[in-house]
Structures are given as C-alpha cells and as structure tokens.
Amino acid sequence: MKESPMSIRGKLKKELTFWDLVTNGLIFIGPASAIGIFGVLDAKSNGAVASVYLLATAVMSLTAMSYVQMALAVPKSGSIYAYAKTAFGAKIGFLSGWMMLLDYILIPAVAYLFSGIAFNALIPQIPAWIFTLCAVIVTLGLNIRGIKRVAIFNRIILIAGLVVLSLILIFGVYLILTHDTPRAILSPFTGVGTFSLQSLIGAVSVAVLSFLGFDGIATFAEEHNGAKNTLGRAILVCLVIAGFLFILQSFVGGVLALNSPEYFRTHPELQGKAYYSIINQGMSPLLSSALALVKAFGASCAAMVAVAASSRLVYGIASDGVFSDKLSQTNQNSGTPVLAVLSSSSLTLIIAVSAARVANGLDILVSLVNIGALSAFFMLHLAVIKVYIIQHKSTRFILHLFVPVLGCLSIATIIILSSGFSQLIALVWLGFGIAWSFYQRVLRN
C-alpha cells in the first residue's frame, strides 16, 4: 500500500541556514518594534529610553546565553518543552511548554492585529478585521508550503524594513548633528530632569516586549543544516542586532521627541503615535508612510514565523504523546507538520479577528503577551542549573550557575512588575495545563 504524504512522523527537513535562522528571529521580533512603544517607555522612564533598552538587552542576553547552553545539550524541536523535560521530567516539561505556548498563540494574534490596523490606516474603507483575516490566510499558505519558503519571503521583507529604518535613523542622526534639538543629546540615557532607577526598571518590564520572539529560533532546532552550535550563534547574533537597533532608535527618538515625558504621561492617547510624529514633522511624511507599509507587511511575517514556531512546539509535545499523534505528522514533500500549523493558525485566527472587532482588543492582547514567555524563560534558567551543575557536575560556574541565577532574579522581578490581569491569565492558563496533564495521566492508567 502506498504511504500517504501525511503519514511520516517525526521528520523535519534540515534546510535552514544560519542566516535563515537569524532572519526568522529578526522578523519575529521586528527590527522597528521600539518605535511602536517609544512614547510609553518615554513616559515611564522620564525620557531615559535608551537606558531602558540597554538594561532590557542585558536582561534578555542572560536568557539568550541560557538558550545557547540548552540548545547544545538538547538539540531537539520544542524549545523550552524539550529543555525542561530533559531537566525536570515530562510533567514539568509539558507545563513549561504549555506556558510558552500561551505566548506563541498571543504573539501572532497581536502581530496580525497590528498588520490589520496598519493596512486599515492606509486603506480606511476596508475594516481592520478583514485585513487581519486575509493576512492569516495568506501566511498560512506559506507556512504549509514549507519553512524554507517562509525564510525566503521573510528575507525580502526584512531587507525592505531595514532599508526604511536605516533611512529614518540616518536622517535622525543628521538632524541631531546639524540642528538644535528639543532635548539634550544625553537625555535618552540620563532622563529629562531627575533620573529614577525605579522608573527605569518599571519601563524595562514593558521594553522586553520588543525582544519577545528571538527565542522562537530555538524551535527550529531540527531544521537547520549547520553545526551543533549554529542555533546558539543565531540566537546571540539576532539579540545583538535587535538590541543595537532598539538602542539607536530610542536614542534618536529621545533627542528629537517633540513633547516632554510629562506631556506623554498626561496625554496617554499620544504615546503610540509619538515616534510617528517625530518622523512626520521632523523628517518626511513619505518616510512615515513607508514605515507604516513595511510594518504592516512585517507584522504579518512576524506572525507567520510565530505560527511556525508554535507549530514546532506543538509538534514536539505531540511527538511524546501528550497531544494527539496526528499533530506530530509531517508532510512528505514539504517536511511541514501541517496539522500542527493548522491548529496553531486556527487559535490565532479566532483571537486576532475577535480582537480586531473590539475597540480595546489591542490593549487587552498587549497586556497579556509577555507573561507566558517570561514564565518559560524562568524555567529555562533553572534547566541550565539542573542539567549542567547538578547532572553533569560542570565547573563553569559563571556560565552555568551565575548567569542563570541572575537570569531567574531578573525575570522574576519583571513578572512581579507585570499587570495583575496578565498574572491572573497566566495562572488560569497554567490551571488548564495542569488539568490536561492530569487527564492524560488518567487515560494512561
């Protein structure tokens, strides 16, 4: 009997290069992500936005270093799920993957919604939810055709986005060097007026949203064709590039900002448009339109990579029998876990389109999007300690003990500073995960 194209289990194609991995990570993050929340961070940090991103990059670097170590020890698809399972067993592994899955469901929903809103701003006659729906359908088709096609398409969009962002930054630096600026040149690091460490740390809890997505590279552990350390190098390079771009964006915006942090605090409705106002009034409306266009396409691509990452996480869990075996099947031609992609896309579609039809849908999603990933990052750091220090008796204490302990402390601080609503949702989601784990155990017995 001839084998069905959908009958192969556990075989993903190794066809991603090092730069494919970096491209997917940068698209997932969004090189211009700092622009969207500049006004929020400016208000929270009293103008010290560049310092916020310096600290946020340092915190995320700790997480990246732990990812590198676990990617070397456990080169498997599934990311946090595979790492926590190796360190603490199947139950903790599943719950860690379950918490990351919350993030991987919400991130593409937010990205698709951003895309729908951006396209709606360009063509107001068509509702945002229709653009959102179309973005999901088009990118779903690309995801099903294979991860290599996703990487090629993403590379084109990434280059376009970097060109527009580079023009904005070059123009901004030129204005800083040749014109009188609204703020002092060091104010993005020192703040406007008084400097508050507490305000700075509080702003970091929001700034980490810009970085969420670099970890998605780890979900493609079984699909790259490089050496064992390729995945870890891609994660670090992606984080360094993103951190540099975010610091530079916030520096330019912090010097050229047209209003004071206090003004943004008293007019929160202007925070989301703060950077666009700088580009429109201080640079060129054409650049602003070009940025809106590449961010619209870029958000769809980010969502596409997020869905691909979530499907690999579902695939990894299903391969161990925790989810249906059908979710671990791959297409013979493309090597894609099609049913896992469809299931991830369906959940994202429902959430994104529903949010697009509600006035405050974006606010609700953004307030929830970081809590799942942060919870999983905490388990990642613990996994490094368990695998290297306890199991393998490593004497590299800085890399395998000091870094993950510092990472745990920084992540715990950010979780504590997160909104109470997001903490509640995380607990409810964790409760569903515990219930599912208990249900699976009952079935086996």
Least confident of 28-37, 73-82, 423-432: 73-82
Whole-model pTM? Answer: 0.75
Q: How far apart are CA 416 and CA 424, in angstroms?
A: 12
Provide the pLDDT for residue 34. 83
Q: How far apart are CA 314 and CA 301, in angstroms?
A: 20
- 35 versus 402: which is more confidently predicted? 402
Interhelix angle 128-145/147-178, nearest 10 degrees: 130
Least confident of 8-17, 135-144, 165-174, 392-401: 8-17
Residue 355 has pLDDT above 50, yes or no: yes
C-alpha count within 13 angstroms, C-beta hemisphere, residue 144: 13
| Contact indicator for 366, 110 with CB cutoff of 8 Å | yes
Provide the pLDDT for residue 224. 65
Residue 68 has pLDDT above 70, yes or no: yes
Least confident of 162-176, 234-248, 272-286: 272-286
| Contact indicator for 147, 13 with CB cutoff of 8 Å | yes
pLDDT band at 54 (very low <50, low <70, confident <90, very high): very high
Residue 179 has pLDDT above 70, yes or no: yes
Interhelix angle 90-122/285-319, nearest 10 degrees: 150
Residue 190 has pLDDT above 60, yes or no: yes
Mean pLDDT of 357-366: 63
Q: Is 125 helix (H, G, I), strand (E, B) or coil?
A: coil
pLDDT band at 1 (very low <50, low <70, confident <90, very high): very low
Q: How far apart are CA 143 and CA 298, in angstroms?
A: 15
pLDDT band at 245 (very low <50, low <70, confident <90, very high): very high
Residue 133 has pLDDT above 60, yes or no: yes
Residue 9 has pLDDT above 60, yes or no: no
- The pLDDT > 90 percentage for the chain reads 9
Residue 260 has pLDDT above 80, yes or no: yes
- DSSP conformation class of 37: T
Provide the pLDDT for residue 4. 42
Task: State the distance between the two ends of the chain, measured CA to CA, in whole angstroms.
Answer: 34
Token code pair at residue 203: 């702003």
Residue 3 has pLDDT above 50, yes or no: no
Provide the pLDDT for residue 6. 41
Sign of CA dihedral 369, 370, 375, 381: positive
Q: How far apart are CA 443 and CA 82, in angstroms?
A: 22
Q: How far apart are CA 388 and CA 87, in angstroms?
A: 9
pLDDT band at 53 (very low <50, low <70, confident <90, very high): very high
Mean confidence (pLDDT) of the chain: 78
pLDDT band at 225 (very low <50, low <70, confident <90, very high): low
pLDDT digits (tens, 9 = 90+) for 403-414: 999 988 888 887
pLDDT digits (tens, 9 = 90+) for 317-331: 777 666 767 776 776
